[in-house]
Amino acid sequence: MIKKIISILLILIPINAFALIEVDITRGNLNPLPLAVSPLSIDENSRKSFERILKKENIGEEISSIVENNLRISGLFNPLDKKAFLQAPDIANLKPRFEDWNLIKAQALITGKVNFIDDKLRVEFRLWDVLAAKEMMALAFTTVPNNWRRVGHIISDKVYQRLTGEKGYFDTRIIYVSEEGPKTQRIKKLAIMDQDGANNKFLTLGNELVLTPRFNPASQMVTYLSYFKNMPRVYLLDIETGTQEVVGDFPGMTFAPRFSPDGKKIIMSFAKDGKSDIYTMNLENRIVEKITNHPSIDTSPSYSPDGKYITFNSDRSGYQQIYVMKNDGSEVKRISFGNGLYGTPVWSPRGDLIAFTKLHKGKFYIGVMRTDGSGERLLTENYYQEAPSWSPNGRVLIFYRETKTNAKGEGFSAKLWSIDLTGYNERQIKTPTDASDPSWSSLLSN
Amino acid sequence: MRLNKIFKNTLLVFIACLVLSACATKKEVAIDKIEGQMQGDVYTGTDTVEYLADGVPDRVFFATNESILTTASRETLRAQAAWLRKNPGINVVLEGHADERGTREYNLALGERRANAAKDYLMTYGISSDRITVLSYGKERPVDSGSNPLAWSKNRRSVTVKAN
């Protein structure tokens, strides 16, 4: 839906430069690339128009700071202090004096300008290689003024992609569960926000318990668990229209839903008589298929990006462990063999790794392993944390973390955190309330 | 083995108190309180228990990751079955719960499995499945918000609630 309303026009200005700077994405913030984000220049008439419409004094500076913030939190870039900049934004965009930028140790430079044309926001930006004294990329966008934040995210994605060779993840959203109230009577609502925490919005009122929302990777639909009328069932929600429907007609609890990579199926668990098995429902023809058939608990299923395999957790060995099987339920293979319990496997959108939650000796870990179970790597350890969800480029995980209460049972909190695959760049994502069960959307503009 | 351990602990406390020459009674009471409320890691206390009728406790407790009914749980459920037989007009919801030390989705399944263990036992004592609804809350509705083994043991439970 967002795509429909927003419809950003992308005009490519052709350039012929070749990549001279390369950022090694696998090394995290050990050596972030110093770069300068010069504020987007703006003429006085345009500035006044945007001030009137958007209530922002200088929209050029606002967009630049979104870019700066995104690049900083990626851990791969070190945006330099604007106070050190010697060249004015408008002149820098025409022709940077590379020796000035070199002096402050910037290796890359982002410049641009903003115009108000026919009631639209037009943004042009350029990425420069300072050492080679060359333009690396130049792009222009035209959109409705209200989309100014998204323009900042799209610029960030383009810069990230040009410098790392991989797609970005900034023009995305997070759906999660907002939490309030005492631990014994939590009020939970579905909420959605931009990846950087802006534009937070509640989607349900908190009248019933809601859990585990997940984005459809192919659209802006969401699947989640709701206790509507005290019957825990998997629901489908259209964020655009707000319409909801229950998924399938099961005589008991359905839970742990996720979409298939093409968005056409929902995979989930159905619990009956103390057993939980994995089912799929085709959203086009409503056909339900039973995928696992075992007296154990089989849950938290997640498809591989090609849709051919499913990873899930099961206690069929006696304890919760991670398994992989073909999408028809055949060839079930256990892949987790380390010490402790393993749960919530999620297949990376790149296909190479499975992220998971591990419980060992009273500590919870978020980790990754290869899809055959080898190469286990624990990224972060804490009192309680779980439910990793991948950024669309498979480089960052978002999850939630809960704190231990004191002797009186006070001091509980639940927050969203992100960590990249290097395990170094761990950050809290600020939310207006406590938060859990995050799910990362695909890139909104592709 | 276990008694031996308790004996040893008491002896240690005793020796410690001889050295410090104070505080003996206080420490022993604290140990007894926890020992008296848990067996293994199953809650055996009565703090949170409510009663469906005189002598009919409303809940049973489980060990970590388990859904096996203990001797005490079976006794509670037999009392519930007898009460339900005497009150044929009453239907019940069995609410299954887990502690906070597990992933959310697995705990939903575990709560369902625990409530079903209680349901199966009620059925073997003559209660029709038509009268029983199972509802799992996973770890969503703890009774004790503490982050310690005793609190967790109170939260691993199946609670029988009147539905009408």
Q: Tell me: do B126 and B72 sit in the same domain.
A: yes
Q: What is the overall mean pLDDT for chain A?
A: 92
Q: Could you tell me the residue ranges of all domains in chain A?
A: 2-164, 173-440
Q: Identify the residue whose tokens are 């004592």.
A: B125
Q: Tell me: do B29 and B104 sit in the same domain.
A: no
Nearest CA in chain B to A366: B103
Q: Tell me: do B25 and B51 sit in the same domain.
A: no
Report which DSSP code applies to A51: H
Instruction: Please answer yes or no on whether B145 and A319 come within 8 Å at the CB atom.
Output: no
Question: Which is more confidently placed, A190 or B31?
Answer: A190
Q: Tell me: do B139 and B81 sit in the same domain.
A: yes
Q: Tell me: do B96 and B126 sit in the same domain.
A: yes
**pLDDT tier for residue B36 given thresholds of 50, 70 and 90:** confident
Q: Tell me: do B116 and B59 sit in the same domain.
A: yes
Entry pTM: 0.90
Do residues A13 and A140 touch, judged by C-beta distance below 8 A? Answer: yes
Over 70: is that where the pLDDT of B80 sits? yes
In this structure, the number of other CB atoms found within 10 A of the CB of residue B100 comes to 22
Alpha helices in chain B (DSSP H): 2-20, 24-37, 71-86, 104-124, 149-155
- For chain A, say whether B129 makes contact (Cβ under 8 Å): no
Q: Tell me: do B73 and B22 sit in the same domain.
A: no
Contact list in A for residue B67 (CB cut-off 8 A) is: 274
Q: Tell me: do B105 and B120 sit in the same domain.
A: yes
pLDDT of residue B28: 45
Instruction: Please answer yes or no on whether B100 and A297 come within 8 Å at the CB atom.
Output: no
Nearest Cα neighbor of A153 from A44, A73, A48 is A73
Would you tell me which residues 102-131 of chain A have a C-beta closer than 8 angstroms to some C-beta of chain B? none
pLDDT per position as a tens digit, A269-320? 999 999 999 999 999 999 999 999 999 999 999 999 999 999 999 999 999 9
pLDDT of residue A29: 53
The count of CB pairs under 8 A between chains A and B is 105
Q: Tell me: do B9 and B56 sit in the same domain.
A: no
Q: Tell me: do B75 and B114 sit in the same domain.
A: yes
Instruction: Please answer yes or no on whether A269 and B140 come within 8 Å at the CB atom.
Output: no
Class of domain A2-164: alpha beta
Do residues A254 and A234 touch, judged by C-beta distance below 8 A? Answer: yes
Instruction: Please answer yes or no on whether A412 and B145 come within 8 Å at the CB atom.
Output: yes
pLDDT per position as a tens digit, A205-233? 999 999 999 999 988 899 999 999 999 99
Contact list in B for residue A225 (CB cut-off 8 A) is: 108
Nearest CA in chain A to B119: A273
What stretch of H or E contains A221?
strand A221-226
Counting the structural domains of chain B, the total is 2
Contact list in A for residue B142 (CB cut-off 8 A) is: 183-184
- For chain A, say whether B112 makes contact (Cβ under 8 Å): yes
User: Which residue range forms the structural domain that includes residue B31?
Assistant: 2-39
Q: Tell me: do B79 and B158 sit in the same domain.
A: yes
**pLDDT tier for residue B4 given thresholds of 50, 70 and 90:** low
Q: Tell me: do B8 and B87 sit in the same domain.
A: no
Instruction: Convert B33-74 into a string of H (helix), E (strand) and C (coil).
Output: HHHHHEECCEECCCCCCCEEECCEECEEECCCCCCCCCHHHH
Maximal CA-CA distance, chain B? 64
Nearest Cα neighbor of A10 from A138, A139, A203, A126 is A139
**pLDDT tier for residue B1 given thresholds of 50, 70 and 90:** very low
Nearest CA in chain A to B65: A319
- For chain A, say whether B147 makes contact (Cβ under 8 Å): yes
- ipTM of the complex as predicted: 0.92
Do residues B79 and B56 touch, judged by C-beta distance below 8 A? Answer: yes
Would you tell me which residues 39-68 of chain B have a C-beta closer than 8 angstroms to some C-beta of chain A? 65, 67
Instruction: Please answer yes or no on whether A344 and B103 come within 8 Å at the CB atom.
Output: yes
CATH number for the domain running over A173-440: 2.120.10.30
pLDDT, mean of residues B126-151: 97
pLDDT of residue A407: 85
B21 dihedral zone (left: phi>0; alpha: psi -120 to 50; beta):
left
Share of chain A above pLDDT 70, in %: 93
Over 80: is that where the pLDDT of A25 sits? no
Q: Residue B2 class from Cβ within 10 Å (0-12 exposed, 13-18 middle, 19+ buried)?
A: exposed
Task: Give the distance from residue B83's alpha carbon to the nearest chain A alpha carbon, in angstroms.
Answer: 23
Q: Residue B150 class from Cβ within 10 Å (0-12 exposed, 13-18 middle, 19+ buried)?
A: middle
Backbone phi, then psi, for A386, in 5-degree steps? Answer: -165, -175
